[in-house]
Amino acid sequence: MVKHLITLEDFSKQDIEYLFEVALSVKKMKRQKTDILKGKSIGLIFQKPSNRTRVSFEVAVWQLGGNCIYLGPEEINLGKRETTSDVAQTLSRYLDGIVARTNAHQDVVDLAKYATIPVINGLSDMYHPCQALADFLTIKEKLVKTKVSSLKEIILAYIGDGNNVCHSLLLGAAQLGMTMNIATPKGYEPKREIINLARSWAEKTKAQFLITNSPQDAVRGAHVIYTDVWVSMGQETEAIERNISFKGFQIDNTLSLLAHRDFIFLHCLPAHRGEEVSEEIIDGPHSVVFDQAENRLHIQKAILIKLLGEQA
């Protein structure tokens, strides 16, 4: 049976810990090329512009010895120029794997339903699992053993929109047994079904969650402060309304004083300095956003190895 990465529901806690081990191992190799994906071709189906996702996957595939083919909106317009079913079945005859960055989450689900090769969700409007895995890898690197003994001791504070990144972080925290505090303006909370799923997992892992409209309550004592843009791609028409709603949710020095003394700051990027985060925070000593961005490359290598190259 073909294994995909559509959401973090597809990977167990053991799977995630395995990815961390592999990612840290390949990270030590730096830019050394291997032949783990020798003879294999990966297609990138991208409906949205991308910096980190596209570059990190293309470099990851190349450094693992494979071949990457970029398929933008002009080549493939899922469900319009051609049915998603036909795209998935056709590409399965040419490729060994697909990375999809789509507008609608259902497009990734449908690709996985009809493809006979692994499909990786590179971002959808509901989830961003590759980003979240890189985030947890960064937290593990920066805090575990140096500040705390395990991820279960971490308090992760997410401040901002309850969006796709927030959803994936919430599911990951639930699987890893972490504490996650989420602060959003009223009406911008994560989707109820995601909260319920995370809480059902938390019954086994002892993870704890706080969903609040108070950034101060969420940040208090946190080892990690995380934020994302207030206006994501496709939400430009909501920009004025969102900027009003999110007033008071900026990560700045005043808010960060409530966090743990040795907190780290994360942002999935791109960032809008002066909006969701002040320059003094994102460019300050607590920020590890570029280490976090680099880890996209390493965790994606680990994902590709797990889904396509374990035997090698």
H runs (alpha helix) in the chain: 13-28, 52-63, 84-94, 105-114, 129-143, 164-176, 192-205, 215-219, 239-245, 253-256, 279-282, 289-304
pLDDT in tens, 47-66: 988 999 999 999 999 999 99
Instruction: Please give the pLDDT value at position 312.
Output: 52
Share of the chain above pLDDT 70, in %: 99
CATH C-level class of 131-292: alpha beta
Say if residue 258's pLDDT is above 90: yes
Given a cut of 90, is residue 96 above it in pLDDT? yes
- Per-domain boundaries in the chain: 8-128+296-309, 131-292
**Residue 151 DSSP class:** G
**CATH architecture for residues 8-128+296-309:** 3-Layer(aba) Sandwich (3.40)
Name the residue with higher pLDDT: 85 or 236. 85
* Structure-block tokens of residue 90: 């056709």
Mean pLDDT of 278-292: 98
Which active-site residues does the annotation give?
101, 128, 131, 228, 268, 296
- Do the two domains 8-128+296-309 and 131-292 of this chain adopt the same fold? yes
Beta-bridge partner residues of 284: none
Distance CA 55, CA 51 (A): 6
CA-CA distance, 41 to 66, in Å (whole number)?
Answer: 6
With a cut of 90, say whether residue 182 has pLDDT above it. yes
Asked if 264 and 224 touch (Cβ cutoff 8 Å), the reply is yes
Q: What is the mean pLDDT of residues 120-134?
A: 98
4 falls in which pLDDT band (50, 70, 90)? very high
Kindly indicate the confidence band of residue 311, based on its pLDDT and cuts at 50, 70 and 90.
low
- Assign 3-state DSSP to the chain and report helix, strand, coil percentages, each to 5: 45, 15, 40
The pLDDT, as a whole number, for residue 109 is 98
Residue with tokens 């080549």: 75
